[in-house]
Amino acid sequence: MLRVAIVDLGMGNLRSVQRALERAAAEGGVELAVTITADPAAVSATDKIVFPGQGAFRDCAAALEGGLGEAIRARIAAGTPYLGICLGLQALFQSSEEAPGARGLGVFGGEVKLLGPAAGIKIPHMGWNRLEIVRPGAGALSTFDAEPPYVYFVHSYHAVPEDQSLVAAVTAHGPHRITAAVQRDNVVATQFHPEKSQGVGLRFLRAFVEG
């Protein structure tokens, strides 16, 4: 039985992520036990971590102070597979323009930056965009290598890593080249929402569960 902990910061529809993971696991024949939790002990005892969320970076940073953030960092350092979705990608970095002074997990160097206004586009960026794979073979994202799909985004900020080799996929929104996914070792994270991306999102979640 594969144990997956969904990190609960009270942000976003975590049940939709849970249902998508369970469906993806069933399609792959994987026995799955999903726990939605903010308990550091539960995070420390799980096989895989999923960190989804939509909301304010400052609230996220406050929720990660102390035991929960320490547990996530320790599990990542120990090699536990981690999937970040939207805010769960942004939280991997050190800081965000949205919340000066608030600190992310700091797993990677870099900052989360605002998508500035530009002619012909709307912010927040909401809707379907096609991925551009910039680094094939990036963990579960490799399921998209042969034919990069359209996936669903809802966000106003995106991560700008200090080390651009982290970036596995990008997408365009007007003049903006958006970090759509990052990956390194046991960590993969997407700015898009696989749980909202229909069949291609389930294919990605299945690859994460099976990997």
86 catalytic per annotation? yes
Place of tokens 């304010």: 56
- Measured between alpha carbons, how far is 126 from 69 in angstroms, rounded to an integer? 29
Q: In 3-state terms, what secondary structure has residue 174?
A: coil
Smallest CA-to-CA distance from 208 within 41, 16, 30, 15 is with 30
For the chain, first and last CA: distance in Å?
14
193 catalytic per annotation? yes
Which of 22, 31, 86, 111 is catalytic? The answer is 86
- Measured between alpha carbons, how far is 174 from 125 in angstroms, rounded to an integer? 10
Length of the chain: 211
Which of 125, 147, 195, 210 is catalytic? The answer is 195
- With beta carbons less than 8 A apart as the criterion, state whether 192 and 148 touch: no
Which of 98, 155, 193, 210 is catalytic? The answer is 193
Smallest CA-to-CA distance from 88 within 114, 59, 137, 54 is with 54
Catalytic residues: 86, 193, 195
